[in-house]
Amino acid sequence: MARLALIAIDGPSGVGKSTTAKALAARLGWDYLDTGGMYRCAALAALRSGLGPGDPGIRDLMDRLRIEQIGTSFLMDHEDVSAAIRTPEVTRLSSPLSADPRVREALVPQQRRIGERGGWVVDGRDIGTVVFPDACCKVFLTASIDARARRRFLELQAKGQPAEFPAVLADLAERDHRDSTRDVAPLRPAEDAMILDSSDLDLGQVVTAILARHQRHGG
Ligand code: DC
């Protein structure tokens, strides 16, 4: 299989995939695609239409949905929804909604069209396994649930958002479980992915490890 010049970063929620992917894209002069942001747009659209996972109207909704990522901003039908897709309500719905096969059938082809010519760092849950199995560099970024919950808790505190550590931990555990046990495109490392545990690493160390892998594997 010809290798595509693309770095795929998969891993559980709260592991720092997007921060890592953005830093890598900046270092390489590549673009960054946030596939989780696309699932969040789908969740926001579903919320606004009063639809949930499994509802018959989801297919129609997905056919009509126009999502665009410009830099790190998301536009949905030309409306800037970058802040609206990060609310707790959208975060909660995006996990069960992304397990609906009709949502994935609509978004995966869009992701492939965006990245097919290479020069992208793409993060998500199924990038190395399903979306770009031909990516030249695949990373499964992981960290203990305690480390991820601690980081998320500190982030929320820094933003002045009220949060309780046990609730943050429970929420992550629930999303981990749902994302890795769903029938379609469950979260798991590709066979040829480097598994990188970032529990005790800072961003610079993670980026250095991935760049070293990328240099070894070409692209
Ligand atoms: O990475 P994130 O938290 O922004 O992702 C939001 C949700 O979308 C998350 O619950 C899992 C889902 N997702 C997915 O199923 N596949 C992807 N490639 C990216 C995200």
Q: What is the pLDDT of residues 15-68, one digit of tens each?
A: 999 999 999 999 999 999 999 999 999 999 999 999 998 899 999 999 999 999
Residue located nearest, by CA, to atom 11 of ligand 1: 95
Residue located nearest, by CA, to atom 1 of ligand 1: 36
Ordered by where they begin, the domains of the chain are 1-30+119-219 (3.40.50.300), 36-118 (3.40.50.300)
Query: CB-hemisphere CA count at 13 Å for 105?
Result: 9
Token digits for 38? Answer: 């696309």
Cα–Cα distance, 35 to 69 (Å, whole number): 9
Would you state the pLDDT for residue 21?
A: 97
Would you state the pLDDT for residue 219?
A: 47
Would you state the pLDDT for residue 162?
A: 84
C-beta neighbour count of 198 within 10 angstroms? 22
Q: Which residues line ligand 1 (CB under 6 A)?
A: 13, 35-37, 39-40, 94-95, 98, 124-127, 175, 179
Q: What are phi and psi of 115, to 5 degrees?
A: -95, -5
Check residues 155 and 90 and name the one with the higher pLDDT: 90
Q: Which pLDDT band holds residue 159 (cuts at 50, 70, 90)? A: confident
Q: What are phi and psi of 161, to 5 degrees?
A: -90, 135
User: pTM for this structure?
Assistant: 0.93
